[in-house]
Amino acid sequence: MNGNVQGDIRCASLVVGEAAQITGSIVADDVVVRGRIIGTIRGQRLSLQNSCHVEADISHESLVIEQGAFFEGKSRRADDTGNEKLRDVSKSGTEIQSPRTFATVQPSGPEVVPPGKAAR
């Protein structure tokens, strides 16, 4: 899908193109995001690709965030029964009680270690 949408989208599979802008909710089994979304996303399999800008609360069974993708919002992992748990999008992967999670995926490189600190 390319273009601008203000409203809700419900379908089996959705690919949001790089030039697309969606404001509203998305419900689909498979969602691939390359463009801009503001709202909510609910899907079984969700892929945020490196060109995307997502300001949304998301619910998913499977989530992939590529290097360079922008994501701001809540991420809820739904298990097979549809139950959801709020998950931190940090390296630790521990559950949190915070109402919002912010994540910007940056290119990885050598770790900068301050003087006097041991590298991980």
**What global pTM score does this model have?**
0.67
CA dihedral 99→85→88→46, nearest 10 degrees, is -110
Q: Is the pLDDT of residue 8 over 70?
A: yes
Q: What pLDDT sits at residue 46?
A: 97
Average pLDDT, the chain: 77
Q: What pLDDT sits at residue 110?
A: 47
DSSP state of 95: B
- pLDDT more than 70, % of the chain: 65
Burial class of 25 by CB neighbour count within 10 A (0 to 12, 13 to 18, 19+): middle
